[in-house]
Amino acid sequence: LALLIYNLYRLSTQGQTIGKQVMKIRIVRVEDNSQAGFVKAVLLRGFVNALIGIVPFYGLIDILFIFREDRRCIHDLLAGTHVVQA
């Protein structure tokens, strides 16, 4: 539970979890590459995406979106975010 809270805090404030920091990537807003913040990084990318995930085959479709030219999946499109090198 403590690790989950810590990762949610880091996503909200730095756009990175511990794993993203190790991989040297972070989540930012599409418009200006600024911090995504709690609503976009946690609620829209995570919580709303998980709610939609109850639809059959949604997870597969979401993953296949990575093959688009901009490499943004559905959860990125929902939140207005993208992943960049940190």
Looking at residue 4, what is its pLDDT?
92
Answer for the pair 80, 46: CB distance below 8 angstroms, yes or no.
no
**Which residues are CB-neighbours of 73 under 8 A, at least 6 positions away?**
62, 63, 65, 66
Residues 46-74 have pLDDT tens digits of 999 999 999 999 999 999 999 999 999 99
53 and 74 Cβ atoms separated by less than 8 Å: no
> Mean of the pLDDT values across residues 25-48?
95
Burial class (CB in 10 A: 0-12, 13-18, 19+), 81: buried
**Residues with Cβ within 8 Å of residue 48, at least 6 apart in sequence:** 78, 79
